[in-house]
Each structure stands twice: as structure tokens, then as C-alpha cells.
Amino acid sequence: DLHGKTALVTGSTSGIGLAIAKGLAAAGANIMLNGMGDAAAIEAERAGLEKDFGIKALFNGADLTKADQIAGLIKEIDDKLGGVDILVNNAGIQHVSPIEDFPPEKWDAIIGLNLTASFHTTRLTFAAMKAKKWGRVVNIASAHALVASEFKSAYVAAKHGLLGFTKTIALEGAQFGITANAICPGYVHTPLVDKQIPDTMKARGMTEEQVIKDVILAAQPTKQFVTVEDITALAVFLCSDAGKSINGAPLSIDGGWVAQ
Ligand code: NAD
């Protein structure tokens, strides 16, 4: 039961983040939504959380590649929702390209959002979690925190880095009732995956059907996408009392991908 707790879910206007925000709201937590997208659609989601679950939900559209905007986001939660108890670092982007053509600005953006933003959100919320002697940091990493695929150099580097960061935070919070873990999903059918299909077609010289069968589903022994509901259930469990001894762990949820 997460009543009285406040969760920040970064990148929660879409895909995995939106599903986790709903799952935490259903468990009783107040929610700060964050991300990009259509203002009216986001407002409908925000109002829906309050109506469906009887919690407080706010939205802040901070661009998490900007440290000053992250500070503004955390301050709004401190002022209006009593600080962050549950931090879900989920916002992420992908770019698929052979290394020799990889645009340096895409490298910087991916490291900035998928890795450095989590440093800033954690840095700015950790003292309050320590003072409350309770906290949960749930980092949405990837199977690519554990293994690589070609043409995803920045993403794989950022996700491996995020796992190392998670382990460090796990040690720093261990005596204070704080856990930090990395959820490592395989392929989930979200806009992030849809967007990389054309680039993967180009990079590998394949049709769309070949990319789905031979690249995406080839990686997953189940031959099925992981669902946002599967990931949400794991995230909510990590935030529960029963999750208190899971700390510093990479939690694979990938249909068996990294077992190979
Ligand atoms: P998505 O594209 O559906 O959602 C990404 C979210 O991040 C959106 O809300 C978007 O608005 C937000 N965002 C993008 N740039 C931002 C910025 N600069 N500042 C703030 N928010 C920003 O993607 P998703 O598939 O739901 O991915 C969520 C996380 O899960 C990512 O970290 C991704 O790496 C990870 N992941 C996804 C998969 C997959 O197969 N979809 C697999 C493993 C891990």
C-alpha cells in the first residue's frame, strides 16, 4: 500500500512510464508525471489518474537533458507533493546507427537522458529519502544493460552505466531503508521500438517483417513482446514492503533473452 507516498516517474507520457505511473497510482501513490507530448492528451491522463485512483497527480514537462529543468521539477514536487519517495528513472531514447556514422549529438543526447538525468534526479532526492528512512529508486535499464547489440553503441553504453550507477546507489541507501534496482526489459512494443524499425531496416538492409522476426523477436526466446503490464507489476512489487531486501539487482524481464 503506497498511500501517502509520492512517486516521480520520468518519461511517463507514453509507453512503459505511463503504465508504471498508473500502477503506482493504483497502489495509492501520488504521482508526478513528466515527459513530452500533446498537452491535451497529457492533461487527460493526469486528470484520469486523480479520478480513477483518488490520488494527487501533477505534470511537469521538464526536459531531462537540462540539469536546471530537473532541479525545477524536483522543487515542484518538494513544494506541492511533500518530496519524492519513489523515483522511477524511465525516460529514455534510442538511436540506431553503425559507429562510424553515429552522430555525436545523438551520443550526447542518449547519455544525457538515459544516464545523466538519473544522476541528477537521484542526487536531488536522496537526502530526503535518507531523512525519511524510506525510499525506492527504480531505474528502467534494459537487457542492453547486460548484453549488447550492434548499432546501439550510445544506448548500450548508457544502460550499462545506469546499472553501475544503480549498484552504487543501492550501497549508499542500504542503511537508510532505501533500495535501488534496475529493471532490464527485453523488447516491449512501445513508440520507442516503433521508431527504430525504419533505421534498423536501413542499417541491416532488411524489410520491416524481417526486422520484427529476425532482429526483435529473434532476441527473445518467447518470440513475444514483453508487455508494459509485466514491467509495471515488477516495479510496483519493488516499491512494496516485500521488495525491501531486493537491492542493487539487475532484474531481467526479457522472455529469456540474456539466458542465451
Ligand atoms: P517511449 O518512447 O514510449 O517513452 C519515452 C518517454 O520519455 C516519453 O514519455 C517521452 O516523452 C519521454 N522523453 C523523451 N525525451 C525526454 C526528455 N528529454 N525529457 C523528459 N522526457 C523525455 O519509450 P518506452 O519504450 O516506454 O521506454 C521507456 C524506457 O524503457 C526507456 O528508458 C527505454 O530505454 C526503456 N526500455 C524500453 C524497451 C522497449 O523495448 N520499449 C526495452 C528496454 C528498455
Q: pLDDT digit string (tens) for 64-105?
A: 999 999 999 999 999 999 999 999 999 999 999 999 999 999
Task: Quote the percentage of the chain above a pLDDT of 70.
Answer: 100
What are the phi and psi torsion angles at 12 (to 5°)?
Answer: -110, 25
What confidence score (pLDDT) does residue 213 get? Answer: 81
- Checking if the pLDDT of 242 tops 90, the result is yes
What confidence score (pLDDT) does residue 209 get? Answer: 86
Q: Give the cell for residue 175.
A: 542503511
Residue closest via CA to ligand 1's atom 39 equals: 188
In this structure, which CATH number among 3.40.50.300, 3.40.50.1980, 2.60.40.10, 3.40.50.720 belongs to the domain 6-253? 3.40.50.720
Residue closest via CA to ligand 1's atom 6 equals: 11
Confidence bin at 248 (pLDDT 50/70/90): very high
Q: Which of 10, 12, 16 to mutate to test the pocket of ligand 1 (most atoms within 8 A of CB)?
A: 16
CB of 142 closer than 6 angstroms to any ligand 1 atom: yes
The domains of the chain are located at: 6-253
As a whole number, mean pLDDT of residues 113-131 equals 98
As a whole number, mean pLDDT of residues 138-148 equals 98
Kindly report, residue by residue over 162-212, the tens digit of the pLDDT.
Answer: 999 999 999 999 999 999 999 999 999 998 788 889 988 999 999 998 898
What confidence score (pLDDT) does residue 212 get? Answer: 84
- Checking if the pLDDT of 255 tops 90, the result is yes
What are the phi and psi torsion angles at 54 (to 5°)?
Answer: 65, 35
What confidence score (pLDDT) does residue 68 get? Answer: 98
Distance from Cα 207 to the centre of ligand 1, integer Å: 24
Catalytic residues: 155
Kindly report, residue by residue over 41-64, the tens digit of the pLDDT.
Answer: 999 999 999 999 999 999 999 999
What confidence score (pLDDT) does residue 64 get? Answer: 98
Distance from Cα 175 to the centre of ligand 1, integer Å: 31
What confidence score (pLDDT) does residue 196 get? Answer: 82
Residue 54 CB neighbours (<10 A) = 10
What confidence score (pLDDT) does residue 136 get? Answer: 99
